[in-house]
Amino acid sequence: MNEKTSAVERVLVVSALSGAENCAAAIMQQMGLDVEMVPGRREALEALRAGSYAAVIVDDSLAEGDPRGAEVLWKMAGLAIPMQVNFALTGSARLVRDLRAALARREQEQGAAHRAALRALESELRNTISGLLLHTQLALREGGPSPQLEQRLRLMAELAGNLKQRLDVPQA
């Protein structure tokens, strides 16, 4: 496996069943993701300590056979999408479809969170700059500052005005 591969391109499959290998191959072929297969929980924990994954797919029999172990595995998975699958019943087409949908949903959620954070930052900057602009303009109106102070206040007002105009331009 390539060490430069990002977490978004890697999937961990935890199963000792041969059917899981077929599903892993389908994920690689149809989605272009790197898939790491491990036979059990202990190997999965080692893999999760060593790197991060976009998704962790665990065989239903392993998870149901050791619920506490499965809980530890889910916690160690971090931001990876946890999936519990019965490889004996679930075909590779369904697994690929479910994984693709889960990854797309996560991407949408990350995009929404990014946009919300950007809006909050822009709002905070606008408020700060508006306050700076207002107070420099008030200081200039009061009159009586030395010519050097007046020049600095005018420069501050101009800089704040420029920043405010840049923030008010809608982003594409």
- Could you list the pLDDT tens digit for every one of the 172 residues in the chain? 444 444 458 999 999 888 899 999 999 999 999 999 999 999 999 999 999 999 999 999 999 999 999 999 999 999 999 999 998 888 899 999 999 999 999 999 999 999 999 888 888 888 888 888 787 777 777 776 678 777 777 788 888 888 778 777 766 5
Collapsed DSSP state (helix, strand, coil) of residue 151: helix
The bridge status of strand 81-85 relative to strand 55-59 is parallel
**Which range of residues forms the domain containing residue 154?**
115-168
Residues 125 and 84 grouped into a single domain: no
Q: Is the whole-model pTM more than 0.75?
A: no
Angstrom distances, CA of residue 4 to CA of 11, 50, 53 = 14, 13, 13
Residues in CB range of 122: below 8 A, 6 or more apart: 167
Query: Tokens in use for 123?
Result: 């709002």
The answer as to whether 61 is a domain residue is yes
Residues 18 and 77 grouped into a single domain: yes
Q: How far apart are CA 15 and CA 10, in angstroms?
A: 16
Domains contained in the chain, number: 2
The answer as to whether 99 is a domain residue is no
Residues 86 and 13 grouped into a single domain: yes
